[in-house]
Amino acid sequence: MGALRDAGRRALVCYVTAGHPDPATSVAVLRGIDAAGADVIELGVPFSDPMADGPIIQASSQRALDHGMTLARTLDLIREARVSAPVVLFTYLNPLLAAGVDVLERAAAAGTHGVLVTDLPVGADPVREQWLGNGPLGFVRLVAPTTPLDRMREITAHGSGFVYLISRRGVTGVRSDVPMELPDTIARLRQATALPVCVGFGISTADQAKAVGRLADGIVVGSAIVQAAGKSVDAAADLVSTLRRALDEL
Q: How many CA atoms lie within 13 A of 184 on its CB side?
A: 8
Instruction: Please report, as a single letter, which amino acid is at residue 222.
Output: G
User: What pLDDT, on a 0 to 100 scale, did the predictor assign at position 168?
Assistant: 62
Please write the tens of the pLDDT for every residue from 32-76.
999 999 999 999 999 988 777 888 999 999 999 999 999 999 999
Q: Per the residue annotation, which of 6, 34, 39, 42 is the catalytic one?
A: 42
Q: Per the residue annotation, which of 53, 119, 217, 248 is the catalytic one?
A: 53
42 is catalytic: yes
User: What pLDDT, on a 0 to 100 scale, did the predictor assign at position 179?
Assistant: 67
Q: What average pLDDT does this structure show over 130-146?
A: 95
105 is catalytic: no
The Cα-based distances of 247 to 17, 20, 157, 164 in angstroms read: 23, 26, 28, 18
Tell me which residue of 174, 211, 218, 212 sits closest to 196, measured CA to CA. Answer: 218
User: What pLDDT, on a 0 to 100 scale, did the predictor assign at position 54?
Assistant: 81
User: What pLDDT, on a 0 to 100 scale, did the predictor assign at position 51?
Assistant: 75
Q: What average pLDDT does this structure show over 164-169?
A: 80
CB of 81 within 8 A of CB of 27? yes
pLDDT greater at residue 162 or residue 167: 162
CB of 143 within 8 A of CB of 189? yes
User: What pLDDT, on a 0 to 100 scale, did the predictor assign at position 136?
Assistant: 98
Phi-psi region of 170 (alpha: psi -120 to 50; beta: other; left: phi over 0): left
pTM over 0.85: yes
pLDDT at 17 over 60: yes
